[in-house]
């Protein structure tokens, strides 16, 4: 996956100003030199191309492993078999319903996480008493492995939707709230003091300064946390469920239907990738002022 933060490349040509002297020939660099230069410039086009090359390489290695039977067929299906299976699942076996239910679970739990974590995180950064009371608890729970909580959620909430949502919520909330609190703390002190010296009350400083100032990094953290949601979703759906992508994967495993297992994984990968790219795109649009 391409990890690019600056789609338009760095501004200008650096302090040595390559364009300063029209007569001096610019030393020629090969494409290879440009791509491998230490912390060199990047452009949107090359980033996309490199990403595609990465995927192609992965596919090639995968195909190679299957074609030359380095790994037996029942353990590793060929890319074509996986895609074909995914298509069959979608068209003949109502896999789309499972995808929707999984997406719904992820987004609903994530939404519940965010609407509690955002205000609490901001309050933690603003008031010592809130931070003092909550941070040790959050830090403690944060280190509990989510799978260890599965039995409890099943005992408390049964095997319906509630237990899955609860599990996802616990997996993301305690991480997210600390990230949000950090985002709020990183707002420059000067911004806050500007607010106070133009007569803003604390609540106005929060709303009109801290919130807009922390928003870009907060959206980034939400994006990353949304990714974790998918991890916990599969755990939740494997343990107690009769629907969802995780359920499909787990049922297929029982009959060693490797192509079907891999098709499920592929579906998650595609959804995750598209969501991630979409939020990045939104980020670039909404926070164009950062560049």
Residues that bind other proteins (CB under 8 A): 188, 190-191, 193-194, 196-201, 204, 208-209, 212-213, 215, 287, 289-290
Shortest Å distance, C-beta 105 to other proteins: 34
Between CA 224 and CA 247, with CA 261 as vertex, the angle to 5 degrees is 75
Shortest Å distance, C-beta 203 to other proteins: 11
Rounded alpha-carbon distances, angstroms, from residue 39 to 3, 4, 34: 13, 12, 10
Nearer to other proteins, 8 or 201 (CB): 201
In the chain, the N- to C-terminal Cα span, in Å, equals 22
Nearer to other proteins, 92 or 128 (CB): 128
Among residues 117, 112, 230, 110, the alpha carbon closest in space to that of 182 is found at 117
Nearer to other proteins, 122 or 213 (CB): 213
Shortest Å distance, C-beta 189 to other proteins: 9
CB 206 within 8 A of CB 215: no
Nearer to other proteins, 198 or 274 (CB): 198
Shortest Å distance, C-beta 190 to other proteins: 4
């Amino acid at each position: 996956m391409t990890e690019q933060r600056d789609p338009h490349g760095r501004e200008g040509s650096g302090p040595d100003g390559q364009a300063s002297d029209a007569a001096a020939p610019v030393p020629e660099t090969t494409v290879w030199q440009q791509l491998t230069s230490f912390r060199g410039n990047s452009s949107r086009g090359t980033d996309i191309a490199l990403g595609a090359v990465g995927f192609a390489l992965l596919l090639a290695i995968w195909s190679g492993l299957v074609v030359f039977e380095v790994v037996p067929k029942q353990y590793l299906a060929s890319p074509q078999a996986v895609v074909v299976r995914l298509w069959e699942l979608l068209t003949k076996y109502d896999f789309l319903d499972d995808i929707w239910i999984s997406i719904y679970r992820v987004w609903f739990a994530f939404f519940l996480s965010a609407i509690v974590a955002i205000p609490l995180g901001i309050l933690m950064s603003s008031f010592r008493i809130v931070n003092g009371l909550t941070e040790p608890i959050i830090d403690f729970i944060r280190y509990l492995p989510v799978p260890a909580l599965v039995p409890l959620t099943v005992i408390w909430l049964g095997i319906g939707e509630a237990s899955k949502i609860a599990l996802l919520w616990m997996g993301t909330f305690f991480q997210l709230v600390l990230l949000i609190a950090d985002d709020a703390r990183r707002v420059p002190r000067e911004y806050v003091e500007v607010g106070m010296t133009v007569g803003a009350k604390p609540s106005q400083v929060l709303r009109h300064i801290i919130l807009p100032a922390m928003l870009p990094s907060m959206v980034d953290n939400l994006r990353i946390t949304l990714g974790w949601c998918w991890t916990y979703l599969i755990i939740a759906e494997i343990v107690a469920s009769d629907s969802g992508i995780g359920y499909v994967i787990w049922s297929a495993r029982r009959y060693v239907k490797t192509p079907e297992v891999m098709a499920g994984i592929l579906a998650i990968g595609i959804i995750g990738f598209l969501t991630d790219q979409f939020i990045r795109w939104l980020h670039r649009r909404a926070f164009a002022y950062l560049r």
